[in-house]
Amino acid sequence: MGNPKAFLTVSRKEAGYRPVLERIADFSEVEQTLNSDDRILQASRCMECGVPYCHWSCPLGNRMPEWQDSLSKGKWAEAYERLVATNNFPEFTGRVCPALCEKSCVLALSSGEAVTIRENEAAIVERAFLEGYIKPHLPKKRTGKKVAIVGSGPAGLAAADLLNRKGHEVTVFEKDEVVGGLLRLGIPDFKLSKEVIERRLDVLRAEGIVFKTGVKVGEDLTPQQLLKDFDAVCLAIGAGVPRDLPVEGRELKGIHFALELLQQQNRIVGGTEIPEDERISAKGKQVLVIGGGDTGSDCVGTSVRHRAKEITQIEIMPQPPENYNPDTPWPSYPNILKTSSSHKEGCTRRWCLTTKRFIGENGRVTGVEVAEVEWTKEKDGRLSMKETGKTEIIKAELVLLSMGFVHPVHEGLLDSLGVKYDQRGNVESVVPNQSSVDKVFVAGDVTSGASLVVRAIYSGREAAKAIIDKLG
């Protein structure tokens, strides 16, 4: 600990966002950065607690006090080495992780001002790239074993990275035209610049990992051929089936799943030409986002940049409290109101509304009938919902469904492999990170259900370890 009194004398300082009128004019990252001196000062606030709850709450088991200590002393290279000991891609998590670590920071409990762990993490890895600490490191020898990774999201990339370091020959198959999964096509550029992903991919390619894009395993390549050609296969295809809203009027034009908008916009920002009549545009429209999570927030930010006339986001659950929720006490991740940068750019947010039907004219949506609901807690602690009888119609010319994902796509690859599914429809892990089919391993949302990037990376690392143990 460089300064044992810093947590008493130094206040939390966040980098903040670019000015609203500036950032809504483009798709560049909205978050700013602090200078090195400020970053070092912020790291010095870490108290190096006897019980580091930040480490406890992190799915990756990041050793925050260790690399905060290195950073507080200006030892950037040492901080980076400590950081990547548990996290393959801190440049991703430092941008899009909800920072479970900060919510369990002891300093947050005592002062309400957690250490800026996530921002410090991003700063360390950016300094590492800038100063050349990050270089391709090829394995000293190859084992002769071949492993196929199906899916190039964070879980697949993490598994590929560890397996390649071990010396196995790794090939990553991706159904889309670009590598990165939802990191690449699901998260807007204003939260995660795709140059950040390409920069890391350049390193992985130089280290020997082979990426094959535009390959739909199950169609272009049979699972049987995959099992024949490789010693192990890791499924990391995510949870690709979105939760639908099968109510009256669902067939109307102008109703889209959130990812239809986000994936298309990411492709446009990346230079892909999309015909005008195929574009999903919010320009000049009244937009309704159904679903209150992060993906819904991303739809809000994207619609703002399209110059939507009006944006409303509705959620079926009650509005969480703003600062403290007794139902989720420290050090648990708190269920409190989250206001994103996109919300601050212009959006009406409403809660306790369920969708009854879509209304349209000439085959296009013009409005959505919603009903007010109320929630009560039962004796067993579960919440039950009932409608109050109050309904209204929200005008909407573009509706974006952002209600999460149900499970991975079964048709094609998974059904052909014959893997077992759990009760939720995810690929069952018969033993940790292994499916019911010999040689077939699982990582990320395909087995856990839709979750966080940080959990996907952890799952990918664990799947790689299981494969390494299997192959010897």
**What distance in Å separates the CA atoms of residue 200 and residue 153, rounded to the nearest whole number?**
13
3-state DSSP of 48-110:
CCCCCHHHHHCCCCCCHHHHHHHHHCCCHHHHHHHHHCCCCCHHHHHHHCCCHHHHCCHHHHH
Reduced to 3 states (helix: H, G, I; strand: E, B; else coil), residue 51 is coil
Give the model's pLDDT for residue 117.
97
2 pLDDT exceeds 80?
no
Give the model's pLDDT for residue 472.
78
Structure-token match 């100063």, residue found: 131
CA of 232: how far to CAs of 148, 223, 228, in Å?
Answer: 6, 12, 9
2: left (phi over 0), alpha (psi -120 to 50) or beta: alpha
Q: Which letter does DSSP use for residue 112 in this model? A: S
Whether residue 172 contacts residue 217, with contact meaning beta carbons closer than 8 Å, is answered with: no
Give the model's pLDDT for residue 313.
98
Q: Which letter does DSSP use for residue 388 in this model? A: E
Whether residue 188 contacts residue 194, with contact meaning beta carbons closer than 8 Å, is answered with: no
What is the tens place of the pLDDT at every residue in 8-66? 999 999 999 999 999 999 999 999 999 999 999 999 999 989 899 999 999 999 999 99
Consecutive H or E run containing 303: helix 294-305
Pairing type for strands 310-315 and 286-290 reads parallel
Angle between helices 64-72 and 76-84 (to 10 degrees): 170
**What distance in Å separates the CA atoms of residue 93 and residue 121, rounded to the nearest whole number?**
8
Whether residue 176 contacts residue 238, with contact meaning beta carbons closer than 8 Å, is answered with: no
Give the model's pLDDT for residue 36.
94
CB atoms within 10 A of CB 240: 19
Identity at 45, one-letter amino acid code: R
Kindly state the tokens that stand for 279: 């574009």
**What distance in Å separates the CA atoms of residue 241 and residue 238, rounded to the nearest whole number?**
9
Percent of the chain with pLDDT over 70: 100
Handedness of CA 322, 326, 330, 335 (dihedral sign): negative
Percent of the chain with pLDDT over 90: 95
Structural domains of the chain, ranges and CATH numbers in brackets: 6-131 (1.10.1060.10), 146-239+406-471 (3.50.50.60), 244-403 (3.50.50.60)
**What distance in Å separates the CA atoms of residue 76 and residue 68, rounded to the nearest whole number?**
10
**What distance in Å separates the CA atoms of residue 18 and residue 22, rounded to the nearest whole number?**
7
Kindly state the tokens that stand for 281: 């545009």
CB atoms within 10 A of CB 318: 13
pLDDT band at 357 (very low <50, low <70, confident <90, very high): very high
Reduced to 3 states (helix: H, G, I; strand: E, B; else coil), residue 227 is helix
Whether residue 47 contacts residue 106, with contact meaning beta carbons closer than 8 Å, is answered with: yes
pLDDT band at 110 (very low <50, low <70, confident <90, very high): confident
Looking at the DSSP bridge assignments, the partners of residue 274 are none
pLDDT band at 409 (very low <50, low <70, confident <90, very high): very high
Consecutive H or E run containing 174: strand 169-174
**What distance in Å separates the CA atoms of residue 97 and residue 60, rounded to the nearest whole number?**
12
Whether residue 149 contacts residue 159, with contact meaning beta carbons closer than 8 Å, is answered with: yes
pLDDT band at 460 (very low <50, low <70, confident <90, very high): very high
Mean pLDDT of 292-305: 97
Kindly state the tokens that stand for 292: 């209150």
Angle CA(302)–CA(313)–CA(91) in degrees, nearest 5? 45
Give the model's pLDDT for residue 3.
79
What is the tens place of the pLDDT at every residue in 429-452? 999 999 999 999 999 999 999 999
What is the tens place of the pLDDT at every residue in 77-104? 999 999 999 999 999 999 999 999 999 9
Lowest mean pLDDT among 2-16, 151-165, 189-203, 401-415: 2-16
Give the model's pLDDT for residue 1.
60
Mean pLDDT of 378-403: 95
Looking at the DSSP bridge assignments, the partners of residue 434 are 431, 441
Cis omega (within 30 of 0) on the bond before 331?
A: yes
Q: Which letter does DSSP use for residue 262 in this model? A: H
**What distance in Å separates the CA atoms of residue 286 and residue 399, rounded to the nearest whole number?**
9
Q: What is the mean pLDDT of the chain?
A: 96
pLDDT band at 380 (very low <50, low <70, confident <90, very high): confident
